[in-house]
């Protein structure tokens, strides 16, 4: 029987065999010490210096992977000195790193979805796996795939070849196929924790928080003021864009996780915040922003002036607001587009959209603008309501101030200014103000609001000023935004709430990701393949009803579209030990050590393995595995100092065939510098 020694690692007393290293004993006792160059298949080397630990009474830091543990030692990888050393080492490594940990699409997505991952699975025909990946961040992909303004697509590098990949429509395609299958993807929840969470608001933010907290094993109850769950997805987005049957299926899947959903429960009326705080271990406020902003011009109190959100909510509840034949929508966002196109479907003969800037400055998606035009909407740019004229208390006309663009404002857009003495009057029967929305604070007794009237929540912990009360989404901080932003924030908040329920709150910290500026050579030789077009119902038909206008992507076209992805992000990101170690460091900033970088290039001299010099950290694992494990010694260090590199130095076809069958070097690489390609 081997002799045992006792060693304390990171405060935990551990038993281990005499002669084993600190790292080996740490692993056997469930303690993780960051490391890069260690692999159990080869001899200890201690090359990278990431696994340093500090021992009590010992003058020097030790490398845990190559230092044999001594009986009675007390060591830690988390002392200030050890952490500082690890941080500097990793900053030096990352300062010379060329590559994108994640594609710009995933980085830009407010929910942080693995876009590259699920797009690849769609290309391969694995829709269920694609949905599994999506649901790591988005619990309602079929709905979001239909309504998201897809900021991911604006950053898609395929645009440097011809046009971006149709990411949002592909998300909906995979999710629709999964929903239609006999057994839609359902994740497994953790064992019950006995903790209770009250979520106020059943919109995208509240549903997301409920979903991820339920998966953590907590008992979640969602309280919502409306007759059905869905929030703005149900009551703020028209049926022709998001069929409520699709949304209902996705909400039912969340409910199936054990989430209790209580409707017609208005905060401050049917249930109080204090009651929820007493009955639950944590409360998440996701009430949304349901109050329409006013136009701010004389006459807007007249009958026939409606708020954009109020108008859309009424229609989605099955009502038919009295709007008459001539409708003017004020605003330039997607809510304005929803309002004007809904007015068309309600029978208005003339529908105008008034916007104080030009079309180029409109925040609405271009596709929404184009589709509105196809359905007969007239746009009046560089116009702003100066006065709403009425007769017998009801809207009769709008006096519009003619505008021109001046200097850029804080958002970077050119500020509109009035052209003195220049006006236009348009006769209308209804005015719909779609210029913004804000929080209705009713029921939020004791919750601190900011100067904008939104809930003041810490942006890292999501905590309000009340103990155990968190807040996310449109109700907080900067106010209303897009649904995917609320989903992303709620997902991050759920992890923080879970840590709070576990006894030690861990605030969210944005993970570090390596990125690089695109270069022309990245796109050379790429075959140009046009972006798929979503089949639609003709405008002359769709403008008369609320049936969904998009007909869905045919399977063969969806697969081809997904195959257009350039796979910009690192294929090994989820398993990369370098980026994992980097994200254990506080205040990690490799830019402070930036200088001249090694030349980045890729080579395929191994035929089946692509070697990326830009990601190589010269740890030597591939060299040692090829030598010590495989017994071939086909790889070696070339040059010295700054220009050192690892290269294959052979041309023998027999050896190349051996290499083709192996791949052990790529499996051992800690950074994704080696990739199997054939």
Residue 571, domain member (yes or no): no
Question: What is the Rg, in whole angstroms, of the alpha carbon atoms belonging to the chain?
Answer: 29
What is the pLDDT averaged over residues 467-490? 96
Cα–Cα separations (whole angstroms), residue 203 to 199, 241, 251, 363, 490: 10, 17, 10, 22, 11
In 18-61, the DSSP E strands lie at 52-55
pLDDT for the residue numbered 299: 96
- In this structure, the answer to whether residues 131 and 221 fall within a common structural domain is no
Residues 63/47, Cβ–Cβ less than 8 Å:
no
Tracing tokens 């010379």 back to the chain, one arrives at 96
Each residue's pLDDT tens digit, 318-354: 999 999 999 999 999 999 999 999 999 999 999 999 9
Residue span of the structural domain in which 159 resides: 104-185+516-562
Cα gap 413→405, rounded to integer Å:
9
Over the stretch 213-249, which tens digit does the pLDDT of each residue have? Answer: 999 999 999 999 999 999 999 999 999 999 999 999 9
Mean pLDDT computed over 65-74: 95
Do 433 and 452 belong to one domain? no
Torsion angles phi and psi, residue 676, rounded to 5: -70, 125
Task: Name the pLDDT band for 195 (thresholds 50, 70, 90).
Answer: very high
- Reference 389, options 423, 436, 338; nearest CA is 423
Least confident of 32-41, 49-58, 74-83, 275-284: 32-41
Mark which of 501, 526, 543 sits at the end of a domain: 501
Which of 396, 418, 437 lies at the terminal end of a domain, its last residue? 437
Kindly report, residue by residue over 112-140, the tens digit of the pLDDT.
999 999 999 999 999 999 999 999 999 99
Confidence of residue 597 (pLDDT cuts 50, 70, 90): confident
Query: What is the pLDDT confidence band of residue 654, given thresholds at 50, 70 and 90?
Result: low
Specify the pLDDT at position 632: 84
Task: Let me know whether 371 and 431 are in one domain.
Answer: yes
pLDDT at 410 over 80: no
- Between 155 and 596, residue with greater pLDDT: 155
Helices H / strands E in the chain, number of each: 22, 25
Q: How confident is the prediction for the chain on average, in pLDDT?
A: 94
Predicted confidence (pLDDT) at residue 56 exceeds the cutoff of 60: yes
Query: If you average pLDDT over each of 91-100, 229-238, 582-591, which comes out highest?
Result: 229-238
Same domain? For 300 and 421 the reply is yes
Residue 585 located in a structural domain: no
pLDDT surpasses 90 at 586: no
**Same domain for 533 and 467:** no
Please state the domain count of the chain.
Answer: 5
User: Could you tell me the pLDDT band of residue 566, with boundaries at 50, 70 and 90?
Assistant: very high
> Could you tell me the end-to-end alpha-carbon distance of the chain, in angstroms, rounded to an integer?
46
Tell whether the model's pLDDT for residue 143 goes beyond 70.
yes
pLDDT of 1: 55
pLDDT attached to residue 312: 98
Are residues 214 and 253 located together in one domain of the fold?
Answer: yes
Q: Which of 390, 411, 437 is the last residue of a domain?
A: 437
Element (H, E) at 223: strand 219-223
CA pair distance 465, 488, nearest whole angstrom: 22
In a domain, 128, yes or no: yes
What pLDDT was estimated at residue 595?
80
Mean pLDDT of 533-543: 97
Is residue 65 within 8 A of residue 35, CB to CB? The reply is yes
Same domain? For 535 and 428 the reply is: no
- CA-CA distance, 474 to 436, in Å (whole number)? 11
pLDDT at 653: 63
pLDDT for the residue 413: 75
Residue 507 is predicted with a pLDDT of 96
Is residue 650 over pLDDT 60? Answer: no
pLDDT digits (tens, 9 = 90+) for 298-310: 999 999 999 999 9
Question: What's 466's domain CATH number?
Answer: 3.50.50.60
Q: In this structure, is residue 451 part of a structural domain?
A: yes
The answer to whether the predicted template modeling score (pTM) of the entire model surpasses 0.85 is yes
DSSP state of 512: P
Q: Average pLDDT in the 617-634 region?
A: 90
Does the residue 398 lie in any domain? yes
DSSP 505: -
Whether residue 57 is found in the same domain as residue 132 = no
State the DSSP string of 259-293. -EEE-S--BTTTB-HHHHHHHSSEEEE-----EEP
The stretch 527-551 carries a mean pLDDT of: 96
Query: DSSP character for 392?
Result: T
pLDDT at 257: 97
Distances (CA, A) of 415 to 336, 404, 405: 20, 8, 6
3-state helix, strand, coil in the chain (%, to 5): 35, 20, 50
CATH code of the domain in which 67 resides: 3.10.20.740
Structure letter (DSSP) for residue 68: B
Same domain as 233, residue 171 = no
The verdict on 322 and 425 lying in the same domain is yes
Q: Kindly tell me if the per-residue pLDDT of 41 is higher than 60.
A: yes
pLDDT of residue 513: 92
pLDDT confidence tier of residue 649, bands split at 50, 70 and 90 = low
pLDDT at 324: 96
pLDDT (tens digit, 9 = 90+) per residue, 364-373? Answer: 999 999 999 9
pLDDT band at 678 (very low <50, low <70, confident <90, very high): low
Whether the pLDDT of residue 639 is over 90: the answer is no
589 falls within a domain: no
Query: What is the model's pLDDT at position 178?
Result: 97
Q: Check residue 405 and give its pLDDT.
A: 92
Are residue 477 and residue 541 in the same domain, yes or no?
Answer: no
Tell me the HSE value of 75 on the side-chain side, using a 13 A CA sphere.
31
Rounded CA separation 222/615 (Å): 46
User: Which DSSP state fits 628?
Assistant: I
Residues 6+ apart with CB under 8 A from 383: 354, 355, 356, 400, 401, 402, 403, 424
Residue-level pLDDT at 420? 94
Residue 591 placed within a domain: no
Provide CB contacts within 8 A for 66, sequence distance 6+. 21, 44, 45, 46
> Would you tell me how many other CB atoms lie within 10 Å of the CB of residue 580?
16
* CATH label of the domain that carries residue 172: 1.10.1060.10
Give domain status of residue 99, yes or no: no
By the 10 Å C-beta count (0-12 exposed, 13-18 middle, 19+ buried), 9 is classed as: buried
Do the Cβ atoms of 431 and 304 come closer than 8 Å? yes
- 41 and 169 in a common domain: no
Nearest CA among 645, 589, 581 for reference residue 619: 645
Distance CA 101, CA 255 (A): 35
């Amino acid at each position: 029987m081997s002799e045992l020694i006792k060693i304390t690692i990171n405060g935990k007393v551990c038993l281990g065999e005499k002669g084993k290293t600190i790292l080996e004993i740490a692993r056997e006792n469930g303690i993780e010490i960051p490391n890069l160059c260690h692999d159990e298949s080869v001899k200890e080397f201690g090359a990278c210096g990431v696994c340093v630990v500090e021992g009590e009474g010992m003058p020097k830091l030790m490398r845990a992977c190559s230092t044999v543990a001594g009986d009675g030692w007390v060591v830690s990888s988390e002392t200030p000195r050890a952490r500082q050393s690890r941080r500097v080492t990793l900053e030096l490594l990352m300062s010379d790193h060329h590559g994108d940990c994640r594609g710009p699409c995933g980085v830009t997505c407010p929910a942080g979805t693995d876009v590259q991952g699920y797009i690849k699975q769609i290309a391969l025909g694995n829709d269920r796996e694609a949905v599994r990946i999506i649901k790591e961040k988005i619990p309602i992909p079929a709905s979001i795939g239909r309504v998201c303004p897809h900021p991911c697509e604006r950053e898609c590098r395929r645009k440097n070849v011809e046009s971006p990949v149709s990411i949002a429509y592909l998300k909906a395609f995979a999710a629709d196929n999964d929903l239609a299958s006999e057994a839609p993807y359902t994740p497994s929840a953790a064992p019950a924790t006995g903790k209770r969470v009250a979520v106020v608001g059943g919109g995208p933010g509240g549903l997301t928080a409920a979903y991820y907290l339920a998966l953590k094993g907590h008992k979640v109850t969602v309280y919502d003021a409306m007759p059905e769950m869905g929030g703005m997805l149900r009551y703020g987005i028209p049926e022709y864009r998001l069929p409520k049957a699709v949304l209902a299926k996705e909400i039912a899947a969340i409910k199936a996780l054990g989430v209790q959903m209580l409707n017609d429960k208005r905060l401050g009326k049917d249930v109080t915040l204090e009651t929820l705080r007493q009955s639950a271990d944590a409360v998440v406020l996701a009430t949304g922003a349901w109050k329409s902003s006013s136009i701010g011009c004389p006459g807007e109190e007249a009958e026939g002036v409606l708020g954009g959100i109020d108008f859309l909510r009424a229609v989605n509840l099955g009502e038919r607001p009295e709007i008459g034949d001539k409708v003017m929508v004020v605003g330039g966002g997607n809510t304005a587009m929803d309002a004007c196109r809904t007015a068309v479907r309600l029978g208005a003969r003339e529908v105008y959209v008034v916007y104080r800037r030009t079309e180029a400055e409109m925040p609405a998606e271009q596709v929404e603008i184009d589709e509105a035009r196809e359905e007969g909407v007239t746009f009046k740019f560089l116009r702003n309501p100066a006065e709403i004229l009425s007769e017998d208390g009801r809207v009769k006309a709008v006096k519009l101030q003619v505008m021109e663009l001046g200097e850029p404002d804080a958002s970077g857009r050119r500020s509109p200014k009035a052209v003195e003495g220049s006006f236009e009057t348009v006769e209308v029967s209804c005015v719909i103000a779609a210029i913004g929305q804000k929080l209705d604070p009713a029921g939020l007794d004791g919750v601190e609001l900011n100067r904008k009237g939104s809930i003041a929540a810490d942006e890292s912990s999501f905590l309000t000023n009340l103990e155990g009360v968190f807040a996310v989404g449109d109700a907080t901080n900067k106010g209303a935004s897009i649904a995917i932003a609320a989903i992303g924030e709620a997902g991050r908040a759920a992890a923080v709430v879970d840590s709070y329920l576990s006894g030690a709150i861990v605030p969210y910290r944005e993970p570090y990701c390596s990125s690089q500026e695109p270069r022309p050579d990245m796109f050379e030789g790429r075959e140009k393949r046009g972006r798929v077009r979503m089949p639609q119902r003709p405008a002359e038909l769709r403008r008369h009803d609320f049936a969904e206008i998009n007909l869905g992507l045919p399977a063969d076209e969806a697969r081809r579209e997904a195959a257009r992805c350039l796979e910009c992000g690192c294929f090994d990101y989820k398993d990369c030990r370098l980026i994992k170690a980097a994200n254990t460091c506080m205040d990690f900033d490799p830019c402070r050590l930036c200088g001249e970088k090694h030349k980045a290039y890729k080579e395929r001299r191994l035929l089946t393995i692509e070697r990326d010099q830009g990601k190589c950290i010269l740890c030597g694992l591939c060299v040692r595995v090829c030598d010590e494990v495989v017994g071939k010694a086909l790889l070696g260090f070339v040059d010295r100092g700054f220009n050192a590199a690892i290269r294959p130095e052979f041309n023998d076809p027999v050896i190349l065939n051996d290499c083709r069958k192996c791949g052990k070097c790529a499996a051992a690489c800690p950074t994704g510098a080696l990739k199997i390609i054939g």
